[in-house]
Amino acid sequence: MNENRPKGNQKHIDLSGRIRIEQGLNNGESFRTIARNLNKDPSTISKEVRGHSVIKERKPDAFAPIPCANNYDASKPKANVCKILHGCGDNECTHKCVNCRKARCSEICNHYKPRQCEKLAKPPYACNGCPKKTNCMMDRKIYSSKYAQDTYETLRTTSREGINQTPESIQKLNDLLSPLIKKGQSIAHIYASHAEEIACSRRTIYSYIDSGVFEVRNMDLRRKVVYKPRKKKTATSTKDRAFRKDRGYKEFQEYINKNKPTYIVEMDTVEGVKGTKPCFLTMLFRNCKLMLMFLLKEQTQDEVNKVFDYLTEVLGIELFQKLFEVIITDNGHEFQDRWNLECDDNGEMRTRIYYCDPNCSDQKGALEKNHEYIRYVLPKGTSFENITEETTLLLLNHINSEKRDSLNGHSPYEVSRILLDNRLHEALGLIEIPADEVTLIPALVK
């Protein structure tokens, strides 16, 4: 290896570098000299000049045509070696066509071939520094830094445009993705189940959908919507409410920091259309995002108490105390009978309930976020009058079977089988829905 050969710095040439190359060519410098000044390999300079040089076209009214390649001999550079006769059609003429003064041979000869400068076949591959450039009659090849930079930027942009897939692979992706997305499945869930079959990134899938490559459109995606501005709720004071005494969010944080409970449950209700009574009571285990749903006939303290008593009965007091050690909920009227919720019929303590600060639903944000899955199937304004307990369990199982990025590509059901006592699943009828059958659109309950 030549030790004097400049080494490259593995970086793209920028505009200032191209200006330096143009100046070097104009001054007659070698590729090696230019490369040393730019800290590049000489082959890089060579490729740059050959790839970005452009033929400078002659004006149409040029005083003389480009010399013919058939009228040139390297051993006799100034002699006319062409011997073609009668190019004009006059068979009695004895003059060679190249010496004809009646017409240019470029206009009448079928053998005319524009000559190219032989110097362009070797470095520097351009006419920038040629002393004969001004008076040369042949096409000139010029390296321009501005043209080279514009060409580079255009190539850099266009090389990233379009679809880097064959029609067959696009059809294969469409057959896989479109039916699942139409079931209400998220791209994250689909990737978790079919990552090996999808040969591109999630961002690329979103771009393909946005470009109309697949059957599904942006409107088929869950989050391609604009949220309406939230109405500000009127602030309410809960300082003097007895049910919150020593059970506010501050006390909740102090308890979990001191006792380090294994299971923390968030609790809330989801209402149907305004004016109707049925609603859902929802609970979510923070450690695995498993959600429980119970259909309430109406949003009252008695209905919530019935759910707690039911869970205590089917699970047993010991398992209930283990799984529902501490519960955080909001200040809704249905949760204000704290004493009956915390104790069973025999007066034994079965859980501890704490309350969020007023208008701070983010303090149980995991559950609030999980309510989105319910709204995919039962949008706001939907009545729960016709919802049954069987329908509630069906919806719950589909929600818990959706794979999540937050769970590293697993579903809440899969994680809960590891982190929770499986007697909970058996007692409440929780089962896993196969990944491709997960459906989170209104058609699930219709």
**DSSP letters for 102-119:** SS-HHHH-TT--B---GG
Measured over all CA atoms, what is the biggest interatomic distance in the chain, rounded to whole angstroms?
Answer: 131
pLDDT at 238 over 50: no
**For residue 394, what pLDDT band results from cuts at 50, 70 and 90?**
very high
Does any domain span residue 232?
no
The pLDDT assigned to 134 comes to 81
In a domain, 5, yes or no: no
pLDDT at 5: 66
Segment 108-133 shows an average pLDDT of: 85
Whether 388 is covered by a domain: the verdict is yes
Question: What percentage of the chain carries pLDDT values higher than 90?
Answer: 59
Split at pLDDT 50, 70, 90, the class of 89 is low
Chain segment 339-370, per-residue pLDDT in tens: 999 999 888 999 999 999 988 889 999 999 99
For the cut 90, the answer to whether the pLDDT of residue 322 exceeds it is yes
Better pLDDT: 439 or 9: 439
Using pLDDT thresholds of 50, 70 and 90, give the confidence band for residue 411: very high
> What is the domain extent for residue 364?
242-444
**22 and 89, same domain (yes or no):** yes
Same domain? 132 vs 182 = no
Which of 153, 188, 203 marks a domain boundary? 153
Which helix (H) or strand (E) segment holds residue 305: the answer is: helix 301-315
DSSP H helices, 195-276, are 202-210, 249-259
Task: Give the pLDDT confidence score for residue 102 in this predicted structure.
Answer: 63
Average of per-residue pLDDT values in the chain: 87
Closest Cα partner for 413 from 395, 391, 430, 436?
Answer: 430
* DSSP β-bridge partners for residue 53: 143
Cβ-based neighbours of 288, under 8 Å, separated by 6 or more: 407, 412, 415, 416, 418, 419, 420
Residue 164: what pLDDT?
73
Mean pLDDT for 80-103 is 70
Residue 399 and residue 17: Cα distance in Å, rounded? Answer: 57
Q: Percentage of the chain with pLDDT > 70?
A: 87
Among 153, 182, 204, residue at a domain's last position: 153
Question: Is residue 399 located within the same domain as residue 292?
Answer: yes
Beta carbons of 71 and 82 less than 8 angstroms apart: yes
CA 157 to chain centre: 18
Please give the tally of structural domains in the chain: 3
Residue 261 and residue 196 share a domain = no
Residue 236's alpha-carbon distances to 196, 241, 357, 366, 424, in angstroms, are 52, 11, 10, 23, 37
Structure confidence at residue 288 as a pLDDT band (50, 70, 90):
very high
Question: How far is C-alpha 121 from the chain's CA centre?
Answer: 46
Residues 183 and 287 in one domain: no
Q: Nearest 5°: phi and psi at 8?
A: -80, 160
Shared domain for 124 and 196, answered yes or no, is no
Q: Regarding beta strands 352-355 and 326-329, do their DSSP bridges make them parallel or antiparallel, or are they unpaired?
A: parallel
pLDDT at 275: 83
Which pLDDT score, from 0 to 100, does residue 8 have?
Answer: 63
The pLDDT of 405-415, averaged and rounded, is: 95
From the number of C-beta atoms within 10 Å of its C-beta (0-12, 13-18, 19+), residue 2 rates as exposed
Indicate if the pLDDT at residue 376 is higher than 90.
yes
Q: How far apart are the first and last CA of the chain?
A: 76
Residues 380 and 432 both lie in one domain: yes
Residue 4 lies in a domain: no
Span 137-166, pLDDT tens digits:
888 899 999 999 999 999 888 877 777 788
Looking at the fold, whether 355 and 414 belong to one and the same domain comes out as yes
Q: Nearest CA to 198 among 173, 217, 162?
A: 173
- Beta partners for residue 143, in sequence order: 53
Dist. CA 264–CA 297, nearest whole Å: 26
Q: Are 216 and 181 in contact (CB under 8 A)?
A: yes
Torsion of CA 19, 25, 31, 33, to 10 degrees: -80
Residue 266 CA to residue 365 CA, distance in Å, equals 9
Burial category of 300 from C-beta neighbours within 10 Å (exposed 0-12, middle 13-18, buried 19 and up): middle
CA distance 154 to 170: 26
Which pairing describes strands 291-296 and 140-143: parallel, antiparallel, or unpaired?
A: unpaired
Exposed (0-12), middle (13-18) or buried (19+): which is 116, by Cβ within 10 Å? middle
Residue 68 shares a structural domain with residue 190: no
Residue of 418, 415, 420, 421 whose CA lies nearest to 401: 415
Position 244 scores a pLDDT of 87
**Residue keyed to tokens 């059957």:** 215
Residue 3: inside a domain, yes or no? no
**H helix count then E strand count, the chain:** 16, 7
Q: Who contacts 290 (Cβ-Cβ below 8 Å, separation ≥6)?
A: 284, 400, 412, 413, 415, 416, 420, 430
What is the pLDDT averaged over residues 258-267? 95
Residue 174: C-alpha distances to residues 149, 161, 418 (Å): 39, 20, 35
The first and second tokens of residue 182, run together, are: 């139409």
Domain termination residue (choose one: 100, 129, 153): 153
Q: How far apart are CA 311 and CA 342, in angstroms?
A: 13
Q: How far apart are CA 311 and CA 96, in angstroms?
A: 111
pLDDT above 60 (res 240): no
Query: Does 365 share its domain with 434?
Result: yes
pLDDT digit string, tens, across residues 78-87: 667 777 776 6
Same domain for 411 and 303: yes
254 and 364: one domain? Answer: yes
Whether a cis peptide bond, with omega within 30° of 0, leads into 124 is yes
Tens digits of per-residue pLDDT, 292-306?
Answer: 999 999 999 999 999
- Does 100 have pLDDT greater than 50? yes
